Structure 1
Amino acid sequence: MSHTRIAALLEARLGEWADAHDIPVAWENTPMDPPDGLYLQVYAMPATTTAIDLAEKLHVLPGVWQINVVAPAGDGTGPVRDLADQISALFPLGMMLAEGGLTCYISTPPTVYRGITTDARYTIPVSMNYRADITTH
């Protein structure tokens, strides 16, 4: 339930930015014909929710937010690396996203990983951890 809300917060921030920069996004479980140029793939990957207090009312919802920057293979690395750096800057360490009593924090600096090449695509993953603390009643 709250992992769904966390994903919505993260996706909203990226979606607004991508729309403003005219960058297509392949949203999770949504059909998309990959464009000929650069585009993004996104994944919110929740980890196990834990309760960290004796009353078991404070729940910690951690996870990994990964954005893959995808480009056609054979077009070099400059534009895809530049876009990966922009994505990294969009989700800085300590950033808070809040909505309706839920606050999600970016809890690790975004990491831009080495590119992965296939026959058709070159992909640079950008990953960061997130965390939300929720008090239940």
Structure 2
Amino acid sequence: MSHNIIAAAFESRLLTWAKARAKPIKVVAENETYTPATGETYLRAFTLPADTASNTLGGDHRLYTGVFQVNIVAPSGKYRTEASTIVDELAALFQLNLRIPRAGLVALVMTPVAPGPGIPDGNTFTVPASFQYRSDSN
């Protein structure tokens, strides 16, 4: 349940930013279907939760960790310029040690946003950008 709260916190921040950009960009959440327009760049957001742990003998503590990933899906043949710019914007949006409160939890950005290798797939080129998170609750 709490991984869902954490995902909602990150997705909400991402959606607000995406709509407010000078050139708004579509964000597709987990398990959402979407058919992009020809030549459109858009984002796909995922939460990759890790195991939930407890760091107390009494079992009253929960540690939620995982990775939040945003795939930047751009038309192929445009090099990485647009995707790289968006990675930089995401790094500014989800700065290291950022704390985002939601529904009694605080999601913490544990690592800087980092791009992964580009993935060519027919008419698209996807650049994943991700960071690790954690949240503690008692």
Measured against the shorter chain, the TM-score band is over 0.9
| CA distance in 2 between partners of 1:48 and 1:80 (Å) | 31
Alignment of 1:45-124 (within 5 A): 45-124=48-127
Deviations 1:60-94 (A, max 9, x none): 00011000111001122211111111112211110
More displaced stretch, 112-121 vs 54-63: 112-121
Identity of aligned residues (%): 36
Q: Which runs of 5+ in 2 are unaligned?
A: none
Q: Which runs of 5+ in 1 are unaligned?
A: none
Question: How far off is 1:114 after superposition?
Answer: 2.2
Q: 2:40 is aligned with what amino acid?
A: G
| CA distance in 1 between partners of 2:49 and 2:5 (Å) | 11
Q: What stretches of structure 1 move > 2 A for 4+ residues in a row?
A: none
Q: Do the aligned residues in 2 keep the contact of 1:45 with 1:65 (CA within 8 Å)? A: yes
Counterpart of 1:30 in structure 2 is: 32
Using the size of structure 1 for normalisation, the TM-score is 0.94
Using the size of structure 2 for normalisation, the TM-score is 0.93
Counterpart of 1:15 in structure 2 is: 15
| CA distance in 1 between partners of 2:65 and 2:84 (Å) | 27
Question: How far off is 1:12 after superposition?
Answer: 0.3
SS of 1:132's partner is strand
| CA distance in 1 between partners of 2:115 and 2:91 (Å) | 7
Counterpart of 1:41 in structure 2 is: 44
SS of 1:47's partner is strand
Aligned residues: 135
SS of 2:70's partner is strand
Q: Do the aligned residues in 2 keep the contact of 1:85 with 1:112 (CA within 8 Å)? A: no
